[in-house]
Each structure stands twice: as C-alpha cells, then as structure tokens.
C-alpha cells in the first residue's frame, strides 16, 4: 500500500487526533515497604497543569511508535530505563474542535528510585496506598492510576473517552 492509498491528502476538514503517551512508573520497595509510584509535580511555570501531579509522558514524535515514545519520554523526564513496559489503556480526548488527543497509557517498573530531574517539574515517589490528594492531581489521574495499576497483568487495555461539557468541565467514560 502506498502513501496515497492512506487517503491523507483527502482528509481536509476531517477530525484528527494528536498522539500522546502517559507512563505510570512503579518501584517495588525492599521487603515490607510496598510499592511506590513515581509522580511528576508540574513546574510552577509550566503552560499546562502547573503545580499538579501527573505521570510522565508527552507527544509521540513523527516516525515513532507509541512504545518507543513512552520509553523516550520516561528517559527524558526521569533518567530511568524501565522494565515491563505495558500498554494499559487508550483514551480518546475530544477537545471540541477539529482535533483531539489519543492518549496511550502505560505502566512500567523501575529497578531504582534514583531519578534525574528535568525542567518538567519535581519527581516524587509516593507509596501506592498513600498517594497525594486528588485535588493536587491532574483531574483524570486518580482514575487512571486505579484503572492502570489495578489491572491484572494479562488484562487487555481499557478504553475511555473524555469530553468537555457546556461548562467546560471534563467528563470521562470508561469501558466496562
């Protein structure tokens, strides 16, 4: 199949989506200390989500697959090389315009707690059973943490759709 058979040149005016990745990284502590989750608290001067906790991630670059993008973003934002990278969900975010976002949600494990700071914000390890208050997180993060980290290893990825209502409030609907 050639490029023209993909129909891209005839897509003017059609809805399109920007691909992004979000990674939720865990560390299994020493015996008895339990699992920890790495969260990034957005820098105060960040354009989106300043001072709010989120996972790590970003845009998928041209020519990159989503797993490669997740590994790259993890390395860039944390300095970590992770294991057990798994796609746990796909979220379609309808921003109400001619474009939306397709977010690929991953989990991964780190063998170390040692991270390298980036300009994105402060990296903090949190006990999985004592995460920060929901009001200090990006709006969908509490649900994504539960959906992604609470999933059996062999479960298929979840799917979700987000949209904004008339009052510009984020609405979320998950499969199942």
pTM of the model: 0.93
What pLDDT score was predicted for residue 95?
Answer: 87
Q: What is the mean pLDDT of the chain?
A: 92
What pLDDT score was predicted for residue 12?
Answer: 75
- Which residues lie closer than 8 Å to 72 by C-beta, 6 or more apart? 61, 64
Given a contact cutoff of 8 angstroms between Cβ atoms, the answer to whether 150 and 158 are in contact is no
What pLDDT score was predicted for residue 40?
Answer: 97
What pLDDT score was predicted for residue 96?
Answer: 83
With b meaning 16 or more CB within 10 Å and e meaning fewer, what string describes 86-114?
A: bbbbbbebeeeeeebebbbbbbbebeeee
Residue 7 pLDDT > 80, yes or no?
A: no
What pLDDT score was predicted for residue 176?
Answer: 61
Report how far Cα 2 is from the mean position of its chain's Cα atoms.
32
- DSSP bridge partners of 91: 103, 160
Structural domains for the chain: 15-174 (3.90.79.10)
Cα–Cα dist 138/123, whole Å: 15
What pLDDT score was predicted for residue 2?
Answer: 75
What pLDDT score was predicted for residue 63?
Answer: 95
Give the dihedral of Cα atoms 134, 140, 144, 145; nearest 10 deg: -20
Better-scored residue on pLDDT, 100 or 9: 100
Give the dihedral of Cα atoms 146, 152, 158, 163; nearest 10 deg: 0
- DSSP bridge partners of 25: 38, 108
What pLDDT score was predicted for residue 119?
Answer: 87
Give per-residue pLDDT as tens, 138-167.
999 999 999 999 999 899 999 999 999 999
pLDDT bucket at 32, cuts 50 / 70 / 90? low
Segment 106-127 shows an average pLDDT of 94
């Amino acid at each position: 199949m050639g490029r023209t058979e993909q129909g891209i040149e005839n897509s003017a005016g059609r809805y399109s989506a920007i691909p992004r990745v979000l990674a939720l990284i865990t560390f299994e502590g020493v015996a008895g200390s339990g699992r920890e989750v790495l969260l990034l608290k957005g820098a105060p001067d960040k354009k989106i989500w300043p001072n709010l906790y989120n996972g790590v991630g970003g845009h998928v670059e041209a020519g990159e697959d989503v797993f490669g993008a997740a590994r790259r973003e993890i390395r860039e934002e944390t300095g970590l090389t992770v294991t057990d990278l798994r796609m746990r969900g796909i979220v379609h975010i309808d921003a109400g315009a001619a474009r939306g976002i397709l977010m690929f949600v991953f989990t991964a494990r780190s063998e170390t707690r040692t991270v390298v700071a980036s300009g994105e914000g402060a990296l903090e390890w949190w006990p999985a059973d004592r995460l920060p208050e929901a009001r200090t997180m990006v709006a969908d993060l509490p649900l994504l943490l539960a959906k992604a980290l609470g999933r059996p290893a062999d479960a298929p990825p979840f799917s979700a759709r987000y949209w904004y209502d008339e009052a510009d409030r984020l609405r979320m609907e998950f499969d199942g």
